[in-house]
Amino acid sequence: MNKIKESLPAMAVIAALLAAWWLIVVETRSVIFPTPWQVVSGIAELIKDGTLFTHIGASLMRVGVGFSLAVLVAVPLGLWLGWVKGAYSTLNPLFQILRPISPIAWIPIAILWFGVGNASPIYLIFISSLFPMIVQTTAGVHTIELRYLRAAENFGVSRYTLFRQVVIPALLPQIIVGMRIGLGVAWLVVVAAEMIALRSGLGYLIIDSRNAGNRYDLVIAGMIIIGLIGLLLDGVMRLLERLKSVRWRYAH
């Protein structure tokens, strides 16, 4: 019951926006921009012919592969950079130069290296989600309280035990934050990449609907679906914060 009460303000805002959207389209008598009901009809059309789930599956597959590769590289690399002072002082300036480069700027390079296909967006997702996770993991290592490490040293624990029982548990909240940021960026990038270099996915659905007869009902439908899936992905990542090994950080 409390959850329903908490969601009422958000539902009221959404309802007000939908009403304003419908009213503006009707009052302006727009022949191009769709009403909310036309968008719903467009979504039903995509579901009926099966193309919606094909495009969703293609986008999720690319994000899943690229993001997973980024996690496998970023977390160990961030641990190393945070733990080894020489590695941090040597490589951190390079990462700080590469990190601000927009993922969209990598599209011509990705096409040049990997051609037009799934490899290009997977590379773009990998490179765009890699740096947030490296930065967050490295920062997490630097914020570990020294008393934890000193206490472990006093008990004479091995380096392996130190990492497994002290460093990793202390880092998990920071790693999950980095993963949430990286996944959000990855979802943005795959849509942009599909608009340029591919013929499947939600990004392609939007640009193809625009080019094929100005189907703005399908354009808006694609945008809404992208937003809803992004919300679901973030919700999945937030579930990780409820793990016993992580929940201590969010006790408040």
Q: Round to whole Å and give the CA distance between 75 and 92.
A: 15
- Are 78 and 136 in contact by the 8 Å Cβ rule? The answer is yes
Give the C-alpha distances (Å, rounded to integers) separating 182 from 12, 64, 175, 196. Answer: 30, 12, 10, 21
- What is the structure's pLDDT at 247? 60
- What is the structure's pLDDT at 248? 54
DSSP character for 199?
S
- Both tokens of residue 233? 């992905």
CATH 1.10.760.10 fits 49-250, yes or no: no
> Torsion angle of alpha carbons 158, 160, 162, 164, nearest 10°?
-150
Contacts of 190 (CB under 8 A, 6+ apart): 59, 62, 63, 66, 121, 124, 125, 201, 203
Instruction: Please name the residue that has the structure tokens 């591919």.
Output: 198
Q: Round to whole Å and give the CA distance between 223 and 185.
A: 16
Q: Round to whole Å and give the CA distance between 245 and 168.
A: 10
- What is the structure's pLDDT at 77? 92
Task: Give the burial string for 25-36 (b: 16+ CB within 10 Å, else e).
Answer: beeeeeeeebbb
pTM: 0.84
214: left (phi over 0), alpha (psi -120 to 50) or beta: left
Q: Round to whole Å and give the CA distance between 60 and 152.
A: 42
User: Which residue ranges of the chain lie beneath pLDDT 70?
Assistant: 1-4, 148, 155, 197, 245-252
Q: 77 by DSSP, 3-state: which?
A: helix
Q: What is the DSSP string of 44-56?
A: HHHHHHTHHHHHH
- What is the structure's pLDDT at 3? 66
pLDDT tens per residue across span 75-95: 999 988 888 888 888 988 888
Instruction: Please name the residue that has the structure tokens 């951190």.
Output: 92
Q: Round to whole Å and give the CA distance between 240 and 180.
A: 10
Q: What is the DSSP string of 207-251?
A: HHHHHTT--HHHHHHHHHHHHHHHHHHHHHHHHGGGSHHHHGGG-
